[in-house]
């Protein structure tokens, strides 16, 4: 009878362990940095280092300082809610990179696709006069419009790859900078700039501002429903968008792992020539893969900016948004598994919150958490090396025989039958 492959010998298990090693090493490295900073400063000491290390590991549960000045701990609804809110666009850009990678493509164009989603979602949400359509319908139009625009923008590198065999990385870099300048130009010439608050003449209205008789009025616009999450996490920015992001992650998993369409996409990614020989349209699937990836990244932008509590500053988008690039380590740490992307995005967001707590409650800087993220990202790039090392360490002691080999009739383990 066939034997099952041991749990520790499975490819998925080794991939997860490699990601966990990267995370643990990054956190330990951050703790060492804090310790070195504390010992090299006259104003700091081991006590402050211990506070900083605890905030890095579990700052999301910090509730501030008590009357005696000591750190206090407990359920912090605001921190947890803000973590979920920050994870929302990260899940989508992570899905964008992961889905394309599963099909043999490296989508480094998520920042540009995110920008296109920003442009279209805000233009629709702010451009439709208040009361002309139900607010729920305006939200849906803005969300779907952003996805469609992102899909079209993502399909451009896919088209170049499919028909001209131009590397998708080069094509994505070009479309990223085209998007950055195009979006900046469009917002610079738009009528959406905030003219009420004179100190913010370059800002774009929040989507809670609605167009009434040619004037933007607070409270007349749209915002993503809270769905009761504001009661669970009071004082935070969280809304129903996080549930939509999780639902989309599940849908992508089902599409990639449980459908014929997903199998064809992965087959083209593994070997487009063999896929073509099997009757699969490799060119069409390459374009569709990049289009879906672009739509997912743009959906992340729509969910973020349609929240109603975010304010878009157009001039910053003469550069590329970091949220698009951050989807790459989120996807790599999750081994490009759509469900795993949810958890790695939450982890990255948790580090962001811990960094803020570190700045607010100690003498340390929040950029320490950025160092931790950088180390984790660097190690995730060496995940293949780590997996090969694990394969050697976890190799069976029987000399590496095939554990899946079927025993011959009459043959017993350890020798032949009589």
Render pLDDT for 41-97 as a digit per residue (tens, 0 to 9).
887 888 888 888 888 888 899 988 888 888 888 889 999 999 999 999 999 999 999
| Phi/psi of residue 329, nearest 5 degrees | -65, -30
| Averaged pLDDT, 336-355 | 92
Give dist(CA 292, CA 380) in Å, integer. 25
The residues of the chain that CATH labels 1.10.3470 are 80-349
* Chain mean pLDDT for the chain: 85
- Comparing CA positions, the residue from 154, 157, 161, 156 lying closest to residue 110 is 154
What is the Cβ-side half-sphere exposure of residue 7, based on CA atoms within 13 angstroms?
2
Q: Where are the alpha helices (DSSP H) in 202-259?
A: 229-232, 241-258
At 418 the pLDDT is 42
More confident residue, 310 or 171: 171
Rg of the Cα atoms in the chain: 25
- Comparing CA positions, the residue from 328, 334, 373, 330 lying closest to residue 107 is 328
At 335 the pLDDT is 85
pLDDT band at 14 (very low <50, low <70, confident <90, very high): confident
**Count of residues in the chain:** 418
Structure tokens belonging to residue 120: 């279209």
| Residue 337 neighbours by CB under 8 Å, 6+ apart | 98, 253
Beta bridge partners, 27, equal none
Cβ atoms 406, 1 nearer than 8 A: yes
| Averaged pLDDT, 310-335 | 81
At 360 the pLDDT is 86
Give dist(CA 13, CA 9) in Å, integer. 7
pLDDT band at 1 (very low <50, low <70, confident <90, very high): very low
Q: How many CB atoms lie within 10 A of CB 356?
A: 16
Enter the CATH code of domain 80-349: 1.10.3470
Could you give the angle at which helices 46-58 and 11-39 cross, rounded to 10 degrees? 150
């Amino acid at each position: 009878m066939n034997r099952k492959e041991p749990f520790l010998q499975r490819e998925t298990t080794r991939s997860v362990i490699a990601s966990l090693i990267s995370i643990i090493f990054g956190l330990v490295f951050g703790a060492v940095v804090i310790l070195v900073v504390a010992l090299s400063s006259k104003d700091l000491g081991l006590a402050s280092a211990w506070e900083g290390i605890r905030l890095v590991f579990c700052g999301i549960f910090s509730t501030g300082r008590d009357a005696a000045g000591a750190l206090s701990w407990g359920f912090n609804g605001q921190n947890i809610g803000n973590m979920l809110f920050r994870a929302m666009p990260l899940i989508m850009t992570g899905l964008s990179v992961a889905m394309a990678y599963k099909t043999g493509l490296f989508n480094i164009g998520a920042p540009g696709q995110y920008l296109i989603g920003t442009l279209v979602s805000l233009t629709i949400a702010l451009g439709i006069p208040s009361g002309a359509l139900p607010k729920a319908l305006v939200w849906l139009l803005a969300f779907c419009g952003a996805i469609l625009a992102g899909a079209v923008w993502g399909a451009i590198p896919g088209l170049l790859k499919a028909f001209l065999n131009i590397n998708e990385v080069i094509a994505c870099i070009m479309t990223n900078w085209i998007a950055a300048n195009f979006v900046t130009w469009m917002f610079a010439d738009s009528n959406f700039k905030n003219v009420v608050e004179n100190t913010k003449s370059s800002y774009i209205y929040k989507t809670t501002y609605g167009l009434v008789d040619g004037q933007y009025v607070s409270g007349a616009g749209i915002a993503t429903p809270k769905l009761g999450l504001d009661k669970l996490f009071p004082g935070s920015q969280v809304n129903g968008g996080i549930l939509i992001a999780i639902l989309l992650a599940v849908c992508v998993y089902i599409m990639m792992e449980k459908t014929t369409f997903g199998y064809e996409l992965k087959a083209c990614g593994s070997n487009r020539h063999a896929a073509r020989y099997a009757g699969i349209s490799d060119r069409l699937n390459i374009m569709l893969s990049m289009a879906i990836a672009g739509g997912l990244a743009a959906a992340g932008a729509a969910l973020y900016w349609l929240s109603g509590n975010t304010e878009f500053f157009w001039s910053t988008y003469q550069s590329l948004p970091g949220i698009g690039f951050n989807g790459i380590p989120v996807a790599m740490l999750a081994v490009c598994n759509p469900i795993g992307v949810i958890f790695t995005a939450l982890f990255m967001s948790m580090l962001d919150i811990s960094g803020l707590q570190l700045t607010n409650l100690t003498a340390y800087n929040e950029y320490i958490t950025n160092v931790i993220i950088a180390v984790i990202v660097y190690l995730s790039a060496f995940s293949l090396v780590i997996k090969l090392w694990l394969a050697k360490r976890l190799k069976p002691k029987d000399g590496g025989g095939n554990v899946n080999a079927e025993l011959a009739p009459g043959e017993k383990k350890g020798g032949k039958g009589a």
